[in-house]
Each structure stands twice: as structure tokens, then as C-alpha cells.
Amino acid sequence: MNSLVNIAVFGVVGAVMMAALIGLLLVIGGRGKGRGPQAVFGTVSVVLLIAVPALAAANLLGTVPEAGFGQAFLVAFGVALVIGAVNIALLPVVARRAAAAQGEELAPGLRLSPALAGGGLLVCAVLGLIGAGIGTLFG
């Protein structure tokens, strides 16, 4: 399987799973008080953000004999980047819902800042390294 196809398939699957998870949190989070839904969401998000890039890296290493750690890292990084982009795209929806639940007004200037973009790239790179490492073990 081509690396770009690998990124597209696993990235879209991870992005859809993350969007569904965020939607579930928005529905369940509004029903009750407490940190239970947020704790479960955080745990499942971390598992998803590690497992999907690792599966993409393992798939690449299992199907392309000449692929090495560098190529596995790039695939895992690309998948993490797609999933992270969905998180950033859905951030205003989650922020509006959280502000409405607390009875506050949302600041009108909720936009992507350079710090958020840089931090997101750094997190995606770390997730890519972790995913490539796990993929190397199982690929």
C-alpha cells in the first residue's frame, strides 16, 4: 500500500472516530455533572491518538519490505496530523458548548493561533514517534 494511501485511510478512520467521540462527549457531557465523561473521553482519545498511527506504521512495515523507521514515522505523523486537524477544527464547537453549559459568553475571536498550530505539530510529531516505535515492534 502506498504511504499516502495509508495516511489517507488511517487518517480518515481516525478522524471519523475522533469526531464521533467528540460528538458523544458533547451529548453525554451536557446531561450530568462531574468529570466522568471528560475522564473517559481523555483516556479514549489518548488510546486513539496512539493506536491509529501505530496501526498505520505497522501496516506500512508489514506490507512494504523496504520501508524503515523513517517512512513509518512519516506515515504515523501524517495520520496523527489528520486526526489533530479534526480536533482543531472541532475546537470552536466544543468551546461554544462548554461556554453555554456554564452560562458564559464565548469570546468572538476563537481562532487558530501560531502557538496552537506549533504545539499541535509538536504533539503530532511525538505521537508519530510513539506510533512508529510501536509499529516497528508489531510490523
More confident residue, 35 or 18: 18
* pLDDT at residue 77 in the model: 96
Which ranges constitute the DSSP H helices of the chain?
Answer: 3-29, 36-63, 69-102, 114-138
Mean pLDDT along residues 8-27: 87
* pLDDT at residue 19 in the model: 87
* pLDDT at residue 31 in the model: 57
Contact of 28 with 37, CB cutoff 8 Å: yes
Q: Is residue 32 over pLDDT 60? A: no
Express each pLDDT in 125-135 by its tens digit.
999 999 999 99
* pLDDT at residue 41 in the model: 78
pLDDT band at 109 (very low <50, low <70, confident <90, very high): low
Express each pLDDT in 42-100 by its tens digit.
788 889 999 999 999 999 998 888 888 999 999 999 999 999 888 888 877 777 777 77
* pLDDT at residue 70 in the model: 93
Distance of CA 78 to the CA centre of its chain: 11
